[in-house]
A and B are shown apart, each in its own frame.
Chain A
Amino acid sequence: MPDTFEPKIVAFFCNWCTYLAADLAGTSRMKYAPNIRVIRLMCSGRVDPQFIFDAFAKGADGVLLGGCHPGDCHYQEGNYKTLRRFHLLKRVLADMGIEEERFRLEWISAAEGDKVRSVVNDMVEKVRALGPRMPTLPQPMHAREVAVS
């Protein structure tokens, strides 16, 4: 039986909105795909773009950012910074050949447990269809086949 590709998605969730929403999805016993790994931060504004690149570099097939809706940030303005960084990150990741569906920003409030479920399920399926993200780390040039004309 062929193995289905199981994507691994690293998620950065803000403590006050998205992390609580994921907790709510749990207390409500909603079911969603097990491919997600949540890293908890206080605010989506803490998400350093280095984290996103690092996650992709170290094998993540997708990266999901979760924060409070614009205007509702627990720390007032952190998510606005996240939004502007996201715009630039999208373009750089596209230049690096990383498909759009692999990097996603979602505003999920603490009451939206079902949004966590639907976003995770949707993203997992979209990334599954794209296949694993190919590694791009530097390789030595030895031990390669030399083409002979």
Chain B
Amino acid sequence: MPEPGGTNGAVRIGVYICHCGTNIAGVVDVGHLADFASRLSGVVVARDYKYMCSDPGQELIKQDIAEHKLNRIVVAACSPTLHEPTFRRATEQGGINPFFFQMVNIREHNSWVHTDRAAATVKGEDLLRAAVRRVRLHKPLEPREVPINADVLVVGGGIAGIHAALTLANAGKHVYLVEREPTIGGHMAQFDKTFPTLDCAACILTPKMTAVKMHPNITMWTLAEVTQVDGYVGNYEVTVRRKPRYIIEDLCVGCLECIEACVYKQGKVDDEFNVGLGKRKPIYISFPQAVPQLVVIDPDTCVEFKSGKCKKTCVEACGDRLAIDFKQTEKMETLKVGTIVLATGFKTFDPARIPYYGYGTYPNVYTAMEVERLVNASGPTAGEVILRDGRKPKSVGIIHCVGSRDEHTNKYCSRVCCMYSLKLAHLIKEKTEAEVYSCYIDMRAPGKAFEEFYNRIAEEGVRFVRGKVADIYPAGNGDGQLIMQVEDTLLSMVRKIPVDMIVLSIGLEAQADAQDVRRLFNITCSGGDFFMERHPKLAPVNTFTDGVFLAGCCQGPKDIPDTVAQAGAAAAEAMALIDAGKIELEPNTAHIIEETCSGCKTCVPLCPYQAISFLAEKKKSEINEVLCKGCGTCVAACPSGSIEQNLFEDGEIFEEIKGVLNYA
């Protein structure tokens, strides 16, 4: 067994240059790099190979370690974020400490971003030289192992959160489901029917909502928000603010008589669930099948809260159930969980940002979400399509891609709008027999039975106009109609179509507070403020923060089947961690060299995790390795050079600098 050591014993380095098919070899001269590496000091073996991450590639490393008594490995390939663990494992299986390994990124940072072959190869030389110089100084390290708390936190009670919670609960894990609205269900509860089957959304959703409520392994908190997250994978400590409902949960039976009895004879407050189309009272329930089946009092509009002098007819109606409690206060709770699934959903694009579509100006311009509520039997118009002026539309224009696929608003496609537009076209036609014009750029129907659904809707007589609507303005014909002006690109003419009603197919966006939420959980956002996945292809539910997973539209626009699939995947990832029972953390922590620490305390206030403390008896500072997350800030700050960071020692970085600059 070769002796692992820094400067004791000769360093024997194996260098492997990956072709990655033609991904790297197409631009970088990998053969030359292998030859170049073989001539670097300390390098005993240097090879190039088609796919280093494959089994034979990894076998090469293991065999060479044995045959050539290697004690250091360098692999030049893709980004370390992809395969550093792979090659560390191969190194370890070859018999040496896995941290005697260094990876060089010659794909994402080289072959994929440069076109000049010669320059890319020189860059490869510099990066290789740096890695070879650095790896000589690597020390044998042991990863820290931490246990995984078996409980899970699911943030968000929409279909994604519900499915993830049920999957985990059925597997025997205890789940905390935290939802900030008074009911779970999310946006799906607002839909009428779902494409392409035209299943009633509430019918397929409410059984799952009930299952959540009834499940012994799920603790469901509504009107609750996460305010703080401390700790690390396997050992998160989460603070949740539970806002007061002003209803005692165990006593309310959901009879809704208090709402009937409220001093407000009619609803006066904009109803959030009905997207402002209806009105509610200060005491209300979001929708009849809300889970939990409890009313809630809105303190901003309730007379009792505002003046203290209400007759409180609600209390009277509640009678001896005594379920109303105006004195309820918020409660802060602390949860200890091992993993977290974020399922915080989406918000819809605000079409007021596109003024020429007339939303908010012309009363008969609706968003798709508003139309969902119109056609829904439990909505503000009892399922009838009735315009704001009381009429039933005889002609309807549906405008696709509102806010999506547009440089001025959101560049991405929101993925669901074509399908829901077809659905709404069908529902509107069914209820009103109106002439429906659907103005689209492309018809995106990629899912199972989606194309067939499109054909069906076309056969039902919906008119499809291929063109992006340029303007909406009053027809001025005394009928209250609007003109939808659109270039019909298939007919090569501009059409001015008079319609009674406009439906804007608004796109999906990340929630307004996405940045705040992601800071809370220490993850990143990608374009459009959607939460960022670890890898767009291979790790769509993981984040770069171990133990935090994503499910549903918070990660990117998607429909219900994809959301449910992703929620199941997130649950599986969480389960994998929990069932493994422990996880290894990167040993890149810092430690103070006691012999040279002067007790100057410069480092102590620098750590946001309070990992550094001053020991009064020794008059020196000390770092708690368990709390240290390995940022290295204290290392850079120590004025006497008395703090060292594993894997990122000063000496190792100085060698890299000399290497990239080809300094003797």
A residues contacting B by CB (< 8 A) are 6, 8, 10, 16-17, 19-20, 22-23, 25-27, 29-32, 34-35, 37-43, 45-51, 54-55, 58-60, 71-72, 74-78, 81, 85, 109-111, 117
Bound-state CA distance A33–B364 (Å) is 53
Chain B residues with Cβ below 8 Å from A41 are 632, 648, 653
Q: Does B213 contact A (CB under 8 A)?
A: no
Pairs of residues from A and B, 7 with the lowest C-beta to C-beta distance, nearest first = A26-B108, A46-B632, A45-B633, A75-B631, A37-B660, A76-B608, A43-B631
Chain A residues with Cβ below 8 Å from B112 are 26-27, 29
B: number of interface residues (CB 8 Å)? 52
Bound-state CA distance A31–B108 (Å) is 11
Contact A81 B606 (CB under 8 A): yes
Chain B residues with Cβ below 8 Å from A72 are 519, 524
A8-B661, A37-B127 known; A110 vs B113 contact (CB < 8 Å): no
Q: Does B630 contact A (CB under 8 A)?
A: yes
A40-B80, A55-B657 known; A46 vs B113 contact (CB < 8 Å): no
Contact A23 B79 (CB under 8 A): yes
Chain A residues with Cβ below 8 Å from B606 are 77, 81
A25-B113, A39-B656, A59-B661 known; A20 vs B633 contact (CB < 8 Å): no
* Closest residue of B by beta carbon distance from A30: B113
A26-B79, A48-B650 known; A111 vs B645 contact (CB < 8 Å): no
Contact B632 A45 (CB under 8 A): yes
Nearest-Cβ distance from residue A88 to partner chain B, whole angstroms: 13
Bound-state CA distance A50–B631 (Å) is 17
Chain B residues with Cβ below 8 Å from A54 are 654, 657
1/0 per residue, CB under 8 A from A, across B79-99: the answer is: 111000000000000000000
Q: Does B561 contact A (CB under 8 A)?
A: no
Nearest-Cβ distance from residue A60 to partner chain B, whole angstroms: 6
Q: What are 10 sample pairs from A and B whose C-beta atoms fall under 8 A apart? A: A23-B108, A32-B113, A37-B661, A39-B130, A46-B648, A58-B658, A60-B657, A75-B633, A77-B608, A81-B606
Contact A48 B108 (CB under 8 A): no
* Closest residue of A by beta carbon distance from B638: A48
Contact B661 A60 (CB under 8 A): yes
Chain A residues with Cβ below 8 Å from B228 are none
* Closest residue of B by beta carbon distance from A37: B660
A58-B663, A110-B524, A111-B527 known; A39 vs B113 contact (CB < 8 Å): no
Bound-state CA distance A42–B662 (Å) is 24
Chain B residues with Cβ below 8 Å from A109 are 524-525
Contact A38 B525 (CB under 8 A): no
Bound-state CA distance A75–B120 (Å) is 33
> Counting chain A CB atoms within 10 Å of each CB, which of B112, B126, B631 scores highest?
B631
